[in-house]
Amino acid sequence: MSERAAHEVGIVDYPGAQVACILGLTDLFSIACTIALDQRRSGQTALRVTHWKPIDASDANLSCIYDSAPSDSPQPRTLIIPPTMVDPDPDIPAGVVSWVRNRHAAGTALVSLCSGAFILAATGLMDGQSVATHQMYAMALAKRFPKIVVDTNRRIIGHGDIITAGGFLSWVDLGLFLVGRILGPAVRAETARVVLDGPEASEARYFTGFAPPQTHGDGAVLKAQEWVHMRDGRGVSLAALATAAGLGRRTLLRRFASATGMTPIEYSRRVRIARARELLGGGELSQKEIAQALGYSDVASFARVFRKAMGETPGTYRKRFGGQDISSPDFAAKDGLSQKKHLFEADPRTD
């Protein structure tokens, strides 16, 4: 039986694209590929990375300018649209838009990162759908593409074969997310150790004050965790989670607790509160907007659950941490004093 072909990940090198993101993702995927080969003890290439660049702005036939494993004609199965550098209302190359749309029609999955959402939105494929991006691009994106729904409150939004990522998610996190999907949890965990010098660093990047256990190796549970993460812990039911994991309810409860040390409901509550802390500490949304974004019935319900979990009101928390870099060591150290014994023991009836 012949070996399965490598999964090809293409990266669009359009005018103004962030070079550090393109090269960084390329290195990350190279590391993941090496780890996959070592774990499988085979000579099969696990990942093939290609870069695609237009000859000019109007050219709809992008050329492959880099191929990590040249063999047959390159055909990306996953295509990443990286962010631009700084411009909050970037130019959109018409040829690139046309090429991306054609690639999707041919069966390629699309992933946009931050302001890469402008190119994705220009294809028309996201009309009527929610799109994630960074807060600094939200207003311009919504104005230019009124048919899409811009959402800066969710780090990853999946629509089948189209994924948009934005907000506080960096290209490193996105790369690890894709490695986990393509090569599995074991390769992702080892890649995180190499890239970030320890799995704890990788996991802590997802949420403020909460490092989701993701190195346990249970693929079904990781699917369930991913489902919770993509919803920021909102609207989680055991039935839906079991379906996402491909397990029966009882089996999910047993394996989820074994892998994470928590029940699915407790885990979802931690994700939800951690996301609230992130929005309070690093963003400019009002408490009402945060409550709505996280699915609470009203501000009072949100405040009640938050206070039970953190030992202080959302307003007090924001006064102490608002406007700070939520990824900095100083923030983490100061925020650590909020980690109490009763943390996240909120009454589910108020959640």
Give the tokens for residue 43: 């000579």
All domains of the chain, ordered by start, with CATH?
A: 7-174 (3.40.50.880), 211-350 (1.10.10.60)
Count of residues in the chain: 351
pLDDT band at 197 (very low <50, low <70, confident <90, very high): low
Higher pLDDT, 215 or 328: 215
User: Largest alpha-carbon pair distance within the chain?
Assistant: 63
Strands 63-67 and 47-53 come out as: antiparallel
Mean pLDDT of 135-162: 87
Higher pLDDT, 53 or 56: 53
Give the tokens for residue 252: 């999910």
Residue 70 reports pLDDT greater than 80: yes
Classify 165 in phi/psi space as left (phi over 0), alpha (psi -120 to 50) or beta: beta
Mean pLDDT of 143-148: 94
Higher pLDDT, 289 or 43: 289
Q: At what angle do helices 219-230 and 264-282 cross, to 10 degrees?
A: 40
The Cα–Cα gap between 317 and 300 comes to 15
pLDDT at position 236 is 87
Q: Which of 258, 255, 272 is nearest to 348 (CA)?
A: 272
Residue 279 reports pLDDT greater than 70: yes
How many CB atoms sit inside 10 A of residue 170's CB? Answer: 17
Lowest mean per-residue pLDDT among 69-83, 273-287, 327-341: 327-341
State residue 25 phi and psi, 5-degree precision: -65, -40
Name residues whose C-beta falls within 8 Å of residue 341's C-beta, 6 or more positions apart in sequence.
none
The Cα–Cα gap between 87 and 222 comes to 36
pLDDT band at 305 (very low <50, low <70, confident <90, very high): very high
Residue 351 reports pLDDT greater than 70: no
Residue-averaged pLDDT of the chain: 80
Residue 4 reports pLDDT greater than 70: no
pLDDT at position 124 is 95
pLDDT at position 344 is 35
Q: Which of 95, 59, 96 is nearest to 80 (CA)?
A: 96
Q: What is the reported pTM?
A: 0.61
Summarised one tens digit per residue, pLDDT across range 12-27 is 999 888 888 899 899 9
Summarised one tens digit per residue, pLDDT across range 203-230 is 444 455 677 777 787 888 888 887 887 7
Mean pLDDT of 32-46: 73
Lowest mean per-residue pLDDT among 60-74, 178-192, 204-218, 256-270: 204-218
How many CB atoms sit inside 10 A of residue 198's CB? Answer: 12
pLDDT at position 208 is 56
Q: Which of 1, 86, 14 is nearest to 44 (CA)?
A: 1
pLDDT at position 338 is 44
Helix (H) or strand (E) holding 21: helix 19-40
User: Are the C-beta atoms of residues 81 and 58 closer than 8 Å to each other?
Assistant: no
The Cα–Cα gap between 301 and 154 comes to 21
pLDDT at position 282 is 58
pLDDT band at 319 (very low <50, low <70, confident <90, very high): confident
User: Are the C-beta atoms of residues 22 and 11 closer than 8 Å to each other?
Assistant: yes
